[in-house]
Amino acid sequence: MKLIKFKQDNCTPCKMLDGFLKEMAVEVDQVVNLSNPKSDEDLILAGKYAIEKTPTLILVNDDGDEIQRFKGVGQKGVKDILARRGLI
């Protein structure tokens, strides 16, 4: 499993989520900044997962299939689900 985070530079909830993830010591495997994408692959990935708003976290399996999606900032929900999956 891996965790992909989609964010934007001027997104206050994105910054709050960064703080929550740091507090929980959650390792994010890939960060896609939609304000300043590093490559066309970032935009393709955002399209593949139909990202509508940020922040969005997507937990995917080894094949890249979506397992769980988190939209916005919900520290308790994110923490509970990641704990059940053994990621924290």
CB 51 within 8 A of CB 6: yes
pTM > 0.95: no
CB 29 within 8 A of CB 59: no
Task: Residue 75: give its domain's CATH number.
Answer: 3.40.30.10
Distance, in Å, from the CA atom of 32 to the CA atom of 84, rounded to the nearest integer, reads: 25
Q: What domain range includes position 51?
A: 2-84
79 Cβ neighbours under 8 A, 6+ residues apart? 20, 24, 88
**pLDDT (tens place) for every residue of the chain, 88 residues total:** 899 999 999 999 898 888 888 888 888 899 999 998 888 999 999 999 999 999 999 999 999 999 988 887 666 677 777 787 777 7
Instruction: Provide the domain count of the chain.
Output: 1
